[in-house]
Amino acid sequence: QVQVVESGGGLVQAGGSLRLSCATSGRTLSIYAMDWFRQAPGKEREFVARIIWSSGSTYYADSVKGRFTISRDNAKNTVYLQMNSLKPNDTAVYYCNSSPNTGGNYWGQGTQVTVSS
């Protein structure tokens, strides 16, 4: 089975930056894509960013485009989310999802990001 672990969350002031990491381990797999989602209090989980592993192609929600950057470390099977110009409405639990080529989804436990005014 696959383990997915997020880290790097914390509390920052508006305008600040954080970099989240998502490390995968366990049974070997071929990654098709890795995604970041987030869930704010009282709201449904929403898509943030996706990276296609083979090509490096990236996709972003409009709300974060130009501020967030998703990237990967192929050797470590790790994905990052660089978050700049953070806003209070970026406050959420951020979840990483790994999608193997064989199908299915593997979710991490989430990491809390809190942005103060």
- Per-residue pLDDT of 42-53, as tens digits, reads 999 999 999 999
pLDDT at residue 8 greater than cutoff 90: yes
The band of 102, judged by pLDDT with boundaries at 50, 70 and 90, is confident
Mean pLDDT of 15-25: 95
- For residue 42, the model assigns a pLDDT of 94
**Is residue 30 packed enough to be buried (19+ CB in 10 Å), middle (13-18) or exposed (0-12)?**
exposed
Determine the Cα–Cα distance for residues 89 and 75; give it in Å rounded to an integer. 33
Distance linking the first and last C-alpha atoms of the chain: 41
